[in-house]
Structure 1
Amino acid sequence: MKKLINYTPSTATRLFLGLLPFALLLLVYMGASEARLAENPNDRLLPSLTQMGDAIERLAMEPSKRTGELTFWQDTQSSLIRLLSGVAIAALFGLVLGLLTGALPVLNAWLAPLLTVISLIPPLAVLPILFIAIGLGEASKITLITIGIAPFIARDIQRSTQQIPTEQLVKAQTLGASTLQILMRVLLPQIMPRLIDAVRLSLGAGWLFLIAAEAISSTDGLGYRIFLVRRYMSMDIILPYVMWITLLAFLFDYLLGLLNRRLHPWSEGTNA
């Protein structure tokens, strides 16, 4: 009999096992919801799937009486613009800082300690400072996301740069490459796959900072809507919004992974 540690499931079995926990959770929720609603039809803690579907259909298909916009899609658009803007700025900043401090010892000695200290500051602790200094507009929300994940990306890129074999740098210098050429043609191509992976790992934190900023100061967005309707215990809206955020996060992670495999197929073995 084959030992369990040596058993590798087939593709179909792997898919079944992956979907099984979600199916079980759904069945448990449906049973609990039905039981609570049978006891109290006005119960708002565990709404039925039909109630959640009706609530989201109303927000997604019926224009808001206040703004005339489709609330669900407007919230999604606003949140995605903030998230993608903050992540893009953080990725660019993290790439440049991480590459330079990882490749140039003089910059490492100068900036690495500061980067380490900044990475230890809880980003949410500086949110009031951002609101005071920048205001309550979009800039403060995007800045919070950038501050929250840029140090992580920078330190990751820094370590990855330092792990590149010194022999490559010596060979490039032997062939007459300048510092800029080494950075751009030797180090940068090898760092790009790690940058995409770092962005994937930081997306969860990015969503956290986005929702926190929207909950405190915003007039639209997924986080804003969740915290707005919680005062009415509108779980028929909160739960679908949470599931929608989770789905968006999964899609971003999947697409970034697919992009990495397409652009840098050689890096899979290295990452493994």
Structure 2
Amino acid sequence: MTRLINLHPDRVSRVVLGLLPFLLILAAYLVASADRLAANPNDKLLPGFGAIADAFWRMASEPSGRTGELLLWADTGASLVRLAWGLGIAGAIGLAFGVANGVLPLVRAGLSPLFAGLSLIPPMAILPILFIVFGLGEVSKVALIVIGIAPVIVRDLQARTLELPQELLIKAQTLGANSWTLVLRVVLPQVLPRLLDALRLSLGAAWLFLIAAEAIAASEGLGYRIFLMRRYLSMDVILPYVAWITLLAFIIDWSLRTLQRRAFPWFARVAGGGR
């Protein structure tokens, strides 16, 4: 008898099974929306797909009467720039200190407890401090992303570095490698694909911190627009914005995964290739 654990879907089945939950969610929304609109055609909580499409098209193609900008694209550009800076800085910090903590025992003894403590601080709790120190501009928003995800990336890369076979490090030292050569030629090539994994896993948290900062202090951005529309109960704008953020996050995740697969094909084979 074939056990469930041994059943593997083919390519078509994987696509169907992957789409099925989304289709069920859409169907449930359609039923609930139709029911509420039948009772109250002016209901704003669950607008129909027609109203959502009209609102999305308006935000994407009609210039704002106040600024003259296409709001969807202006908000998207502002948020993506902040997100890119946050992920880039956090990734650089995570790589530098994660490798240092994993390779150098003296550094690990001094900094590992620090990053363990920092990773336990709720980033939203220090957002007021960031606004006081850095002001309400871009720096505070990027800083929140960095503080929120960098310590976690450091700890993850430290663990991945410590998992490297000691035989590799011993052989490299036997062949005359110093500490710097050991890091550059042995450790770094092994850890870089894991950095991309860490960024992918931190992507959801990075979006959360970005939207929270934009909701509190911003004049443009996806989070700012969502919370602005909340005042007017404009679910026909909020829902497509949420879907748009989800799509952007998926594209970024797919891009990082594709970069990892193409830049480090050996890692996909070692990891099983199913990620």
User: What range is the shorter-chain TM-score in?
Assistant: over 0.9
Share of identical aligned residues, percent? 58
Counterparts of 1:164 and 1:46, CA distance in 2: 52
User: Aligned pair 1:140/2:125, yes or no?
Assistant: no
State the Cα deviation string for residues 3-25 of structure 1 (Å, max 9, x = none).
33322222112211211221122
Distance in 2 (alpha carbons) for counterparts of 1:220 and 1:2: 55
What is the CA–CA distance in structure 2 between the aligned matches of 1:6 and 1:188, rounded to whole Å? 36
Query: Residue 214 of structure 1: CA displacement?
Result: 0.3
* Matched residue, 2:240: 240
Q: Please tell me the residue identity of whatever aligns with 1:220.
A: E
Asked whether 1:188 is paired with 2:161, we answer no
Q: Does 1:155 align with 2:155?
A: yes
1:5 aligns with 2:8: no
Equivalent residues in 2 for 1:48-127, closer than 5 Å: 48-127=48-127
Letter paired with 2:259: L
Shift, 1:131, TM fit: 0.3
Distance in 2 (alpha carbons) for counterparts of 1:85 and 1:72: 20
For residues 184 and 5 of structure 2, what CA distance do their matches in structure 1 show?
A: 44
Give the AA of the match of 1:137. G
Q: Give the whole-Å Cα distance in 2 for the aligned partners of 1:15 and 1:201.
A: 22
* AA aligned opposite 2:253: D
Tell me the distance in 2 between the aligned counterparts of 1:15 and 1:177.
48
1:100, CA displacement in angstroms?
Answer: 0.5
1:261-272 correspondence runs (5 A)? 261-272=261-272
Q: Name the residue aligned to 1:258.
A: 258
C-alpha separation between the residues in 2 aligned to 1:195 and 1:128?
Answer: 30
Match of 1:209 in 2: 209
> Amino acid of the residue matched to residue 135 of structure 1?
G
Unaligned 5+ segments in structure 1 are: none
Aligned residues: 272
Deviation at 1:92, TM superposition (A): 0.2
Partner of 1:171: 171
Aligned AA (1:154) = V
Instruction: Give the CA deviation at 1:173.
Output: 1.2
The 10-residue stretch of structure 1 (13-22 or 90-99) with the greater mean CA deviation from structure 2: 13-22
Query: Does 18-27 or 198-207 show the bigger shift?
Result: 18-27
Does residue 110 of structure 2 align to residue 129 of structure 1? no
Structure 2 equivalent of residue 230 of structure 1? 230
Q: Tell me the TM-score normalized by structure 1.
A: 0.98
1:34 aligned partner, one-letter code: A
- Once the two structures are TM-superposed, the CA of residue 28 in structure 1 deviates from its matched residue by 1.7
Q: TM-score, normalised by structure 2?
A: 0.97
The structure-2 alpha-carbon separation of the partners of 1:169 and 1:4, relative to structure 1 and needing over 3 Å to count, comes to closer
Write the distance in 1 (CA, Å) between the matches of 2:180 and 2:94.
Answer: 18
- In the TM superposition, what is the alpha-carbon distance from 1:86 to its structure 2 partner? 0.3
Partner SS, residue 232 of structure 1: coil
Deviation string 1:44-84 (CA, Å, 9 cap, x unpaired) is: 00000110011111111011111110001000000000001
